[in-house]
Amino acid sequence: MKKTNVVGAIIINKDNKILSVQRPLDKNLGGYYEFVGGKIEENEDEFTALKRELIEELDLVVEMEDSIYDRVEYQYDFGFVILSVIKCYLLEDQPIILKEHTDMKWLSINQLDDVVWAPADVPIIEKIIEDKEIFLNKNNKS
């Protein structure tokens, strides 16, 4: 089965809320919420790929931490996904322009269970909730 390396951004705003975006209904995992991101292309590392994906999907530039927050491997019916996520911070009150998604929500850590996440994102959500006392500390390598 095909293995796909993908990267996602855990974007945190000045109110310590985390961005979740909803996949279009006509795509794989349609209707599920996820961390914005996408496939890592050949000759890209996670950070380069995430920077590109954020511009492509949200027209957004963020401050990224310099390490991977978590990595999850998940077997979907359409393929095997290796998801790496990076903590990111909104630089200011930038507008979010949804180019690929149908909805977005800013959620506090206590609200993360209010949406239905893509299955590969669930272990990351669980880790954020478990680490909530230290998660929001900028540059904290959880």
Per-residue model confidence (pLDDT) at position 140: 54
Note down the domain range covering 28: 3-135
Q: Is residue 53 part of a domain?
A: yes
Q: Is residue 142 part of a domain?
A: no
How many domains does the chain divide into? 1
Residue 137 binned pLDDT confidence (cut-offs 50, 70, 90): confident
Q: Is residue 141 part of a domain?
A: no
Per-residue model confidence (pLDDT) at position 142: 45
Residue with token string 């272990």: 123
CB 52: neighbour CB atoms within 10 A?
A: 16
Model confidence pLDDT, tens digit, residues 18-69:
999 999 999 989 999 999 999 999 999 999 999 999 999 999 999 999 999 9
d(Cα 35, Cα 17) in Å, to the nearest integer?
13
Per-residue model confidence (pLDDT) at position 139: 56
Q: Which residue has the higher pLDDT, 139 or 102?
A: 102
Residue 133 binned pLDDT confidence (cut-offs 50, 70, 90): confident
Q: Is residue 28 part of a domain?
A: yes
Per-residue model confidence (pLDDT) at position 121: 98
C-alpha distances (whole Å) from 107 to each of 15, 16, 103, 110 are 10, 9, 13, 8
Q: Is residue 13 part of a domain?
A: yes
d(Cα 15, Cα 85) in Å, to the nearest integer?
20
Per-residue model confidence (pLDDT) at position 135: 83
Model confidence pLDDT, tens digit, residues 83-126:
999 999 998 878 889 999 999 999 999 999 999 999 999 999 99
d(Cα 10, Cα 102) in Å, to the nearest integer?
18
> What CATH code is carried by the domain that includes residue 59?
3.90.79.10
Per-residue model confidence (pLDDT) at position 54: 97
Q: How many helices (H) and strands (E) does the chain have?
A: 3, 8
Q: Is residue 140 part of a domain?
A: no
